[in-house]
Amino acid sequence: MDALGINLSGLITQLVSFIILFLILKKVLFGPINKILQTRAKKIQESLEMAENVKQEATESAEKLEAEINIARQEGQKLIGDARDAAEKYKQQEILRTTSESEEMIKKANKSIEKERDLAIQSVRKEFSSLVISAASKVVEKTIDQKDHKEILDKAIDDEIGKVKK
């Protein structure tokens, strides 16, 4: 034992020193490092969980958004359809209205044209009869009395008008 250098006082010194070293290191090194490692592990765990949650939330909101977009699209489609129907209806109505209006206007125009024509014819007849009378009186003065004259003239004018009408 002595040749190897093992002696009791040396052994006890080294053992006691080592135990003191152990106690100090446990307090100074191992305790704090262990603590910070644990808090870090906890923090990482927490942030991982948080990330998971955020991811889930993101998926959920994306799904929600998709659904809302679908609804909006359907509504839009419906609105467009309705608008188209309404426009079609309106168009139809308008067409009906304008045709009837124009028909009416045409009718009115026709009527007024007829009226104008009748008036023109009457005035023409008046002019013609007086013209013819005056002309004829100049040709056959006094041979024919006024009354007979008028009858013949009227007949002639009527013939003429009939021709015109035709």
Partner 1 sequence: MFNSKSIILSALVLIILVVSVLGGALGASFGFGFLSGPLPFISIAAETIFKPFGYELKNSTVMLWMSMIVLIVLSWLATRKLQEVPSKLQNIFELIIQFFMDTAREAGGDKAKRFLPVVITIFFAVLAFNWLGILPGVGSIGKIETIDEWVSHHSHSGHCSKVEVGHSSKTEVNANKEILSKLCVLEEESSHGFVVFDSYEGSFLSKINIMPIGRGESSRAPLSSIGNYEIEEIEQIRKKILNGEDPNNLEEWKKIKTNISIGRVSELYESKNGTVSPSEYIGKKTGELIPFFRGASTDVNTTLAIAIFAMISIQYWGFSSLGFKGYSGKFINLSHGPINAFVGILELFGELAKTISFTFRLFGNMFAGEIVLISMGFLLPMIGMIPFMGLELFVGVIQALIFSMLTLVFGVMAATSHSEHDEH
Q: Which residues bind partner 1 (CB under 8 A)?
A: 2-7, 9-11, 13-15, 17-22, 24-26, 28-30, 32-37, 39-40, 43
Q: What six digits make up the tokens of 55?
A: 């991811």
- Give the residue with the Cβ less far from partner 1, 22 or 90: 22
Q: How far is the CB of 54 from partner 1 (least distance, A)?
A: 21
Q: For the chain, first and last CA: distance in Å?
A: 163
> What residues contact residue 136 under an 8 Å CB cut-off, 6+ apart?
149, 153
For partner 1, the closer CB: 41 or 96 = 41
CB of 41 to partner 1, least distance (A): 10
- As a whole number of angstroms, the distance between CA 68 and CA 60 comes to 12
Instruction: Indicate the residue type of 101.
Output: E
Q: How far is the CB of 14 from partner 1 (least distance, A)?
A: 4
Q: Which amino acid is at 67?
A: A
Q: Decide whether 12 or 80 has the Cβ nearer to partner 1.
A: 12
- Give least dist CB 10 to partner 1, A: 4
- Chain-centroid distance of CA 55 in Å reads 37
- Phi–psi pair at 154, nearest 5 degrees: -55, -45
Nearer to partner 1, 17 or 77 (CB): 17
